[in-house]
Amino acid sequence: MTMPAADALLQVTDLASGYGRAQILYGVGLELRRGEVVALLGRNGAGKSTTLKTLMGLVRARQGQVTLLGRRIEGLSPFRICRLGLGYVPEERRVFAGLTVMENLEVARRPARTGAPTWTPQRLFELFPNLGRMRERRGGEMSGGEQQMLTISRTLMGNPLAVLLDEPSEGLAPVIVDEMARAIAELKREGLTILLSEQNLRFATAIADRAAIIERGTIRFTGTMAELFANTEVRDQYLAV
C-alpha cells in the first residue's frame, strides 16, 4: 500500500459498500489532494454514484476508511459529513422548486470555513452569469442546466473544503457543458478541491488533473490525464469512448 500524501484532503482506503445483499464496491481506494480536480471515470453502472454516496454517508460503508483532513468520517451521518466540509451535488438536481434562485442560495448559507473559499450569491453569479440574470425565478421554472448550476451554487454556499460532483455534464446541451467546464475550472482556480464522476472523457480531460477508473466497483487505474491518454489499452477496456 502506498503512504498517504501529506497534503491529502480526502483519503479513501479499501472501501466496500452496497445495497441490501448486493455488494457494489470492492476495496475502493482514492486520494484527493488539496486543490486538485480528480475525475472518477467509468461506464454506466460501474459504481461511480455509489462511491460518492458512500463517501457522503448516504450508503453505509461496510469496510474500509474514509479520512477527511486526518479525521475518520465513515460511519458518520450525511449531515455531519456535510458540516465537516464535504459538499455533494447528486446526479438528480435538487433545488427547491417553490423558492427563487436567491432564496435557494440564502437557505444554504453557512459560516466561512478556514482553508476553504467563502461564497456569496454575488460571487456565485460571477461564476454562473445565467443565474445572476434570473435571481427572482423559481427553481421549478428553470431548465435542467440552470438547475444544475443552482444545485452546485447551493452546495458552495456551505463553503465546503471539497465537493463531490456526480456527472455534472450529464444531460446538458453542448453549450451548457462548455459553460459548466469553464465554471469548474474557475472553482479550481479559487482553490476548491473537487472529485467529479464522469462518463464524458472529453469533459473530464478539460478540467481534471488526475483520473481514477472504476469498473465493477473496483479502481482499475489511477494516474494523470496525460498517463490515461497514453494508455489506449486502459481507455479501450474501461471507458465507452
Ligand X SMILES: Nc1ncnc2c1ncn2[C@@H]1O[C@H](COP(=O)(O)OP(=O)(O)O)[C@@H](O)[C@H]1O
Binding site for ligand X (CB under 6 A): 19, 22, 24, 42, 44-50
**Measured from the CB atom, is 8 or 201 closer to Mg ion?**
201
CB of 227 vs Mg ion, minimal distance in Å: 24
What span, in angstroms and rounded, lies between the C-alpha atoms of 139 and 147? Answer: 7
CB of 78 vs ligand X, minimal distance in Å: 15
Sheet of strand 8-19: strand arrangement:
22-33, 8-19, 61-68, 71-72
Contact 156, 163 (CB under 8 A): yes
Q: Which option in ligand X, Mg ion, none does residue 44 bind, with CB closer than 5 to 8 A by kind?
A: ligand X
Q: How many alpha carbons lie under 13 Å from residue 1 in its C-beta half-sphere?
A: 12
Q: Which option in Mg ion, ligand X, none does residue 169 bind, with CB closer than 5 to 8 A by kind?
A: none
Q: Which residues bind Mg ion (CB under 5 A)?
A: 48-49
CB of 106 vs Mg ion, minimal distance in Å: 29
Q: Which option in Mg ion, ligand X, none does residue 2 bind, with CB closer than 5 to 8 A by kind?
A: none
**Measured from the CB atom, is 17 or 49 closer to Mg ion?**
49
CB of 224 vs ligand X, minimal distance in Å: 22
**Measured from the CB atom, is 58 or 102 closer to ligand X?**
58
DSSP output for 170-185: TT--HHHHHHHHHHHH
CA geometry: angle 36, 41, 47, nearest 5 deg: 115
Secondary structure tally for the chain: helices H, strands E = 10, 10
Q: Which option in ligand X, Mg ion, none does residue 68 bind, with CB closer than 5 to 8 A by kind?
A: none
